[in-house]
Amino acid sequence: RARKRRPAKPLAVMALNADSLADVADIAPLAARWLNDPSRPVVLSPARAGLDALWPGIAPGVGRVGTVLPMSPLHYLLFHEAAGRPSGVDWLTQPHPLRLVFTSANLSGAPLITDNGQALRDLAGLADFILLHDREIVARCDDSVLAVRGARQVWVRRARGRTPTPLAAAPGEPVLALGAQLKNTLTVASGNGWHTSQHLGDLDHPDSWDVLEDAVRHWLTLTGAQPTRIAHDRHPDALSSRLAAELALRFDAELIPVQHHHAHLAAVLAEHHWPAEQPVLGLALDGFGLGDDGGAWGGELLRVRGADCQRLGRLRPLALPGGDIAARQPWRMAASALAALGHREADIAARLAMHPGAAAVAAMLARGGNCPPTSSLGRAFDAVAALAGVCTEQSYESEAAQKLEAHAQGPWPAPDPALWRLADDASELDLRPLLARISALNDAHASAALWHANLAAALAHWAHTASQRQGVRHIVLAGGVCLNLTLLDALCAQLAAAGLTPLLAIELPPNDGGVSLGQAWVARHLGR
């Protein structure tokens, strides 16, 4: 971890077969099927009790672990050697004690290395040994990742083994969509297919421009498409937006900005072959997306009809003390929640005194300087995780939310409608009463369970109220929060009980990995 500069983000475990993982994870039948699938994704399953004590460095505190089986001859040779070089193939089905930590050959946050010379240079301080090959790597491709909980699954990342298989689409003009800044993918709409690329990663690294441009060249060559429209995220500073503008000039194509959360919902609609003329409602729930008003959105109730998107409601905003840094330090969001509940500056500073800068943040909130508002549900998760003492500092994205979900396992209290307030026109959902109740607790499980139980009920009530007003019965659920299968199970059950039909991502992730597909879908329907 120290060499890779990855202090806490979970790592995957490779074993010879599913039976060899019995003491590592709770492998449900669905998880076992995917482990043995030829595409060999990394499958996230509930961790066995005591895993953090047994292997404290694997997936600390998140309650689930990534597992994977061999997918290349090299991997099988490693296990064959460890098994004593047995003859035949019967040994492949026998449990074996060897488990290997499985991770990518790069420094954390950097693009995957595909060149032998770069590997020898850049990995010299990371790897003790480097195995090279005389065949060049044409396209970098990370591992696909699938989360499984019982009978429910959701793709976290779509890459090796899942691409370049396209999703079916109605014929239309060629479109290139450049995706989001984080968890980037690109999509080429060509003929009757949506060709969504492998996971390309976050675009914050200095090499990201070249990586994305190489991927565009590769996928346009694969599909033979000459795009007449190029779609991108509405945020002008995103690297993908800047490259989209350059490519639009190069191809003499129409440049089409698409709002982030509209794209989230549209990606699900594309997967469901949804008629563009038929409206749906959607809950777009994530950490951040630039809103139509220039604000930080992330807890939105939207009405989508093809290329048209209307914001019907939002979560009541919380302040972001210090701006973007609040996403890396959940204790700042805890301070924000306490300020929103009316706590005085001195009280907030005292409660968070273990964090350097707590007094300055409390003062910042009291004066309102450098505290932009956000309707993000992701930041609300951060606030709850910090208030519950589950996670106050994040070393990777969604660490706080994942640890909070882990603490929510077990019995839940019945939802209490007094713990949220909904505007009469459904334009704002206020979770302050729930935050107030949690702020008074001193128990991680009780806080996490109370949060998940009442959040699912509040979101379902919000969607049902809007559905009655709009006369629309289908509710799209998208955004990174939908990777929380504990919340998703409860929310889908409550929507169904209210007579609503949830629409979920199927083959693509609900997080930013699906945004490029949604952008392409919107661009194709623009003007219809």
pLDDT digits (tens, 9 = 90+) for 86-97: 999 999 999 999
Cα–Cα distance measured from residue 494 to residue 463, given in angstroms and rounded to the nearest whole number: 10
The runs of H, that is alpha helices, within 371-440 are: 377-387, 399-407, 432-439
Question: Does residue 528 register a pLDDT over 80?
Answer: no
The domain 12-104+142-157 is placed in CATH, from the list 3.40.50.2000, 3.30.110.120, 3.40.50.1370, 1.10.1370.30, at: 3.30.110.120
* pLDDT of res. 527: 84
Residues 6+ apart with CB under 8 A from 396: 6, 8, 9
Q: Which residues contact 17 (CB under 8 A, 6 or more apart)?
A: 69, 92, 93, 94, 95, 96
Query: Under 8 Å CB-to-CB from 389, ≥6 apart: which residues?
Result: 442, 444
CATH class of the 167-272+510-525 domain in this structure: alpha beta
Class of domain 318-503: alpha beta
Percent of the chain with pLDDT over 70: 100
Match 């009442």 to its residue by tokens: 454
The angle, 0 to 180 degrees and rounded to 10, between the axes of the packed helices 432-439 and 330-340 is 110
Q: Which of 202-206, 326-330, 521-525 has the lowest mean pLDDT?
A: 202-206
pLDDT in tens, 220-250: 999 999 999 999 999 999 999 999 999 999 9
Q: 232 — phi, psi (to 5°)?
A: -155, 170
pTM strictly above 0.85: yes
Q: Where are the domains of the chain?
A: 12-104+142-157, 167-272+510-525, 318-503
Give the angle 48-54-60 at the CA atoms, nearest 5°.
75
Cα(141)–Cα(160) distance, integer angstroms: 6
Domains 167-272+510-525 and 318-503 share a fold: yes
Per-position DSSP letters for 192-242, written without gaps between them: EEEEEPPP-B-S-STTHHHHHHHHHHHHHHHHT---SEEEEES-TTSHHHH
Beta pairing class for 167-177 and 229-233: parallel
d(CA 439, CA 431): 12
Give the tens place of pLDDT for each residue, 4-13.
Answer: 889 999 999 9
